[in-house]
Amino acid sequence: MDPNSEIIVRTLKGFPNNAALLSGKLVTVFEDGSPADYEHGVYIHHILVADVGKTTFPFALCPDTQVKKYVGPWTASFVLDAVGAGFIQVGNDAVNGANIYAARGKDSSIKSAFMTGFNDMFLMEAEIVNYRPDNQTVYINAELEYLPEKPEGYLDASTVIFSATGCNNPGYKPPNQNPQYNHTSEDFVMKQDGTIVNMR
């Protein structure tokens, strides 16, 4: 965590009930609607929104959560499972991109969307950094593309964060002597069958 950051945890309302969400995007703006981004002294480390209680898939996976000797991450894996399914997740260089739940492409035969129920509860956790010396008020806007009713035959999709560096030691540092390098994660254990419809 950045020592200058603000950590925000709260529940959210206003998302469509019993609908099929095709894409979701979160943007930060000032009161006049202009972008609140790093060019204006605002850095979005991450904004994570989960559908609490939805059990399609945990919102984050770390390879070391599968190793019992790493007690902290292994215990955290049960917490991740309990939080719910990932809904919209953005951060740093991917902050302006949308989360796509619908399989795109003219050759795709997969029909998918993020399915909401009636009165779902959504939980947001965000870390936002203000690099200006004065206070700034920032608003978070959600942009959604959705079908008002759940169509037949659609798969229920959700977003998942994969941590290539693991969760046991988040203080990852690149090699000192190698300006270019590759990093290969440990194996991820998938707890259920599924299809990847989009990734970034």
CATH code of the domain containing 115: 2.60.120
- Dihedral angle over CA of 64, 69, 72, 75, nearest 10: 90
- Structure confidence at residue 6 (pLDDT): 87
- Structure confidence at residue 146 (pLDDT): 95
Q: Which of 56, 67, 22 minimizes the C-alpha distance to 193?
A: 56
The answer to whether position 196 is within a domain reads no
The answer to whether position 54 is within a domain reads yes
Separation CA 31–CA 29 (nearest Å): 7
Q: Please determine, for residue 122, whether its predicted confidence score (pLDDT) is greater than 90.
A: yes
Q: Which of 23, 49, 47, 197 minimizes the C-alpha distance to 114?
A: 23
Separation CA 60–CA 45 (nearest Å): 16
Host domain of residue 96? 5-162
The answer to whether position 53 is within a domain reads yes
- Structure confidence at residue 29 (pLDDT): 92
Separation CA 25–CA 90 (nearest Å): 8
The pLDDT-based confidence of 192 (bands split at 50, 70, 90) is: confident
* Number of structural domains the chain divides into: 1
Q: What is the pLDDT of residues 126-174, one digit of tens each?
A: 999 999 999 999 999 999 999 998 999 999 998 887 777 766 555 556 6
Residue 7 phi, psi (nearest 5):
-100, 125
Q: What average pLDDT does this structure show over 97-116?
A: 83
The answer to whether position 29 is within a domain reads yes
Q: Find the range with the poorest average confidence among 8-17, 40-49, 127-136, 157-166.
A: 157-166
Mean of pLDDT over the chain: 80
The answer to whether position 188 is within a domain reads no
The pLDDT-based confidence of 68 (bands split at 50, 70, 90) is: low
Q: What percent of the chain shows pLDDT beyond 90?
A: 27
Of residues 12 and 178, which shows the higher confidence score?
Answer: 12
The answer to whether position 172 is within a domain reads no
The answer to whether position 83 is within a domain reads yes
Q: What average pLDDT does this structure show over 55-81?
A: 59
Q: Are 25 and 142 in contact (CB under 8 A)?
A: yes
Q: Which of 17, 84, 20, 76 minimizes the C-alpha distance to 52?
A: 84
Q: Which amino acid is at 194?
A: G
Residue 125 phi, psi (nearest 5):
-130, 125
The answer to whether position 182 is within a domain reads no
- Structure confidence at residue 32 (pLDDT): 94
